[in-house]
Structure 1
């Protein structure tokens, strides 16, 4: 019964995406951060499917036109097992039932955490590169991160800044973004308002003591517009692209350079 169900699902998947036929083997990724790691570390032909999140502009860390070249899954155990992948790259948040299904099917799986430091992100790159048998590519990517760190290290006095992940959700201390902000000369002002990691920070809370800069991916959004109107010239509002927010890994060099550019624009 189980084998018949898997065969039926495979046929249905093939019928729904005729331009992307079901293929056996390869690597399946179930997370947008793992998606971008795969694209950085292996040739495209080794990727059997990526997560559907990477085809959503709000969640992706890779260009949408690139993401749309690949088959996607919703991450269900049935879909993944039907593809018979050589390796599944998932997250540490994968539900126990899904993990158990992968184990019963005998799938080779790699569960990744969410690194909160540059060092941890580099370790994860090396781990994934080893699992993919692409150690050299992992070393090249980590060398790019080291070069960006050296290039963007600030020795100037830090400038206070809030980085909004979206809406009124602010990034706080203990995160990868916080470390990169500090490295490039931006003092994460979230701690001034009692925010650690991430938390809601309405404009009413910051209007009496605003930071010098606000970084946001939602320049055209209603919340960002309200902040600009209420804070006025006291705080400079600058764009920070959403695809630099969602993940670390291959995103780190570009995120560091953008943060350094923002710090330079803030002056002495």
Structure 2
């Protein structure tokens, strides 16, 4: 267990058996946004979190150490289930369905909707937004400081062309948070050569026609064996699945990993 994970686990050790109000409702913060989950556990005491998103209990979708996430109750995110918990605040996604938004509004539930930040600066602003909403501005500033400290100086010199795959043939293009992090780590996003904007699928034919120097992807994912056969001269580097889902505190280990991959190429 790494030091950051161990620290979170110690912080949450006391909530291995959640107090009764965790299970029966009656206040607290309910998050149905997995990226908010990763911020909340670092911003507020565990006793203030009544429930988190079910995605955080999924090893593929979580941005939290799974052992930490499973210390908290999770909901499926339905309006009925969330409202029954009588939360003080619901943290949801800007992609929340209109019917669910209407249900929260009719029930008088205080709700914060967070978008998916496309830049490091936007992610830092979102940390501050959530921190202010849960009266944890000082903790939010510490999180932002940690993000800033993880960023290297803007690199100069040659930039290896790299593709970062989220899963299978789904790659991150330009105009995304991961794209900016790749740039800060010293890579050129090869998605530009394929005309890929934001996030999308890249067929193998395009990769064979113009192979990238580096493929950055979760280990063991679908498509890894095929890429290795088709791109024998392309370096493949592991990028843990947990690091592709969210910004906020995930930026710190993501930058650390990207910089380590770039250093090996040097």
Match of 1:76 among 78, 84, 91: 78
Quote the residue 1:93 is aligned against. 95
Contact map agreement 1:54 1:60 (CA 8 A) in 2? yes
Q: State the TM-score, normalizing by the size of structure 2.
A: 0.90
Gaps of 5+ in 1: 1-17
Quote the residue 1:9 is aligned against. none
- Between the aligned partners of 2:146 and 2:157, the Cα distance in structure 1 is 23
1:238 maps to 2:237: yes
Quote the residue 1:13 is aligned against. none
Quote the residue 1:179 is aligned against. 180
Match of 1:44 among 43, 46, 54: 46
**What is the CA RMSD across the aligned residues, in angstroms?**
1.4
- The aligned length equals 247
Quote the residue 2:162 is aligned against. 161
The CA deviation string for residues 175-203 of structure 1, in whole angstroms up to 9 with x for no partner, is 00000100110100001111110111122
Quote the residue 2:107 is aligned against. 105
The CA deviation string for residues 22-64 of structure 1, in whole angstroms up to 9 with x for no partner, is 2310000001101111112111110000000001111100011
Quote the residue 1:63 is aligned against. 65
- Between the aligned partners of 1:64 and 1:20, the Cα distance in structure 2 is 19
Contact map agreement 1:152 1:260 (CA 8 A) in 2? no
Q: Which runs of structure 2 are paired with 1:102-251 in the superposition (5 Å)?
A: 102-149=104-151, 151=152, 153-217=154-218, 219-232=219-232, 234-251=233-250
Contact map agreement 1:60 1:243 (CA 8 A) in 2? yes
Per the TM alignment, residue 229 of structure 1 is displaced from its structure 2 partner at its CA by 1.2
Instruction: Please say which structure displays the higher CA radius of gyration.
Output: 1
- Between the aligned partners of 1:80 and 1:212, the Cα distance in structure 2 is 47
